[in-house]
Structure formats: structure tokens, C-alpha cells
Amino acid sequence: MKIYTKKGDQGKTRLVGGCLVSKSDLRIESYGSVDELNSAIGVTIEELRATNLFADMMKELSQIQNELFCLGSLLACEDPELFKKLPQIPEDSISRLETSIDHMTAKLPALKEFILPGGTRAAAWMHICRTVCRRAERNTVKLYETHPEVEAALIYLNRLSDYLFTAARACNFELGHREQTWVKP
């Protein structure tokens, strides 16, 4: 099977269910950002693996990757009946993210100032994931305004960005890197 079909050469693609749309369609932007986030998380997992630490975090991130794949298919589906048949965001996914955030936060110094993205390579990749996640969230907000059925995706992305921020802080802390704080000019 060839990977290229040449069917998208005119700037069109099909959504889940077969509807033909422009590659600039908001649904494409939404699930494209989620796909980009999933790729960045893949790099982040490999960066974590290189530290020989963070086994639990890598496991969580792998689960998040699978959930993002489901989330992307929901964003790519325009047909309401087909949407209901697709794998949904598991009900406990958001609470699981919140529990992980709380667990990591309990080990971290109190956050009293804005921190700058960066630090260790693992933390820097977490911050890249966080910013891509925020873009995916912004695109999903636009989609949600006319398609309220994507609400669970919107909530999930919002919580995930909080998770990624906290995970970046946890990486820096566990690897002994002092966070850099924002200095007013």
C-alpha cells in the first residue's frame, strides 16, 4: 500500500465519515494541533527515558497519547451519529490528570512567581508540549462554539496543559534544576 494518494494535492481532505473539506477547515486545525501535540509528547517520552527516571510519568504520557488519538478522531468527525460511536474521552481521564497534578504539586516548592519555560531538556520539552496543547485548546474552543459535542475534548485539553506545566516543574525539581523566574523589565 502506498502512503501517498495524491487526493489531497488540491488542498482538500476527508473527515471521519467521508465529508470533503478544505485542509484549512477548523476541524483540521483542531485535530492537527492535537496530532502535533501527540508527536511532541513522543519526543518528550524519549527525553524522559534518557534520564532513567520518571517511569510513572512516561506511563502517564503514553496513556495520554492514546487518549489524544481518540480525541483527534472526535474532532475530525462531523457526523453526530458517527461521533457517538467513536471512542470517547474516558470519564476518569480528567480526574486522573487532576490527581497527577495534585501528586506532583505536593512535592514541588510553592509557585510564587511566573516561571520561564526551560530548564532541563525534559522540562523544556514539557513546556513545548504545554504550548502546543494550549494551541490545540484554542482551536477546539473555536470548534466548540458551534459544535458543543466537543466539550469533553475542550475540558481534557485544558486540564492536560495544566498537567504538562506541572510535569515540566517536576522534571526540573527532580533533576535538581532551579527554575528561572520572570523578571520585570
Q: Which residues contact 147 (CB under 8 A, 6 or more apart)?
A: none
Q: CA-to-CA distance for 10 and 45, rounded, in angstroms? A: 35
Residue 60 pLDDT grade (very low, low, confident, very high; cuts 50, 70, 90): very high
Q: Is the pTM of this model over 0.85?
A: yes
**Taking residues 122-145, what's their average pLDDT?**
98
Residue 140 three-state SS:
helix
Report the pLDDT value the prediction gives residue 7, as an integer from 0 to 100.
79
CA distances from 31 to 95, 108, 110, 159 (A): 23, 33, 34, 17
User: CA 100, 41, 90, 79 torsion: positive or negative?
Assistant: positive
* pLDDT attached to residue 174: 95
The residue assigned the cell 510513572 is 56
Cell representation of residue 78: 462531523
> What are the pLDDT digits (tens) for 94-131?
999 999 999 999 999 999 999 999 999 999 999 999 99
Question: What percent of the chain has pLDDT above 90?
Answer: 86
Please report the domains of the chain, with CATH numbers, ordered by start residue.
25-75+97-106+115-174 (1.20.1200.10)
Lowest mean pLDDT across 7-11, 47-51, 111-115, 118-122: 7-11
pLDDT-based confidence at residue 5 (cuts at 50, 70, 90): confident
What is the spatial distance between Cα 25 and Cα 133, in angstroms, rounded to a whole number? 19
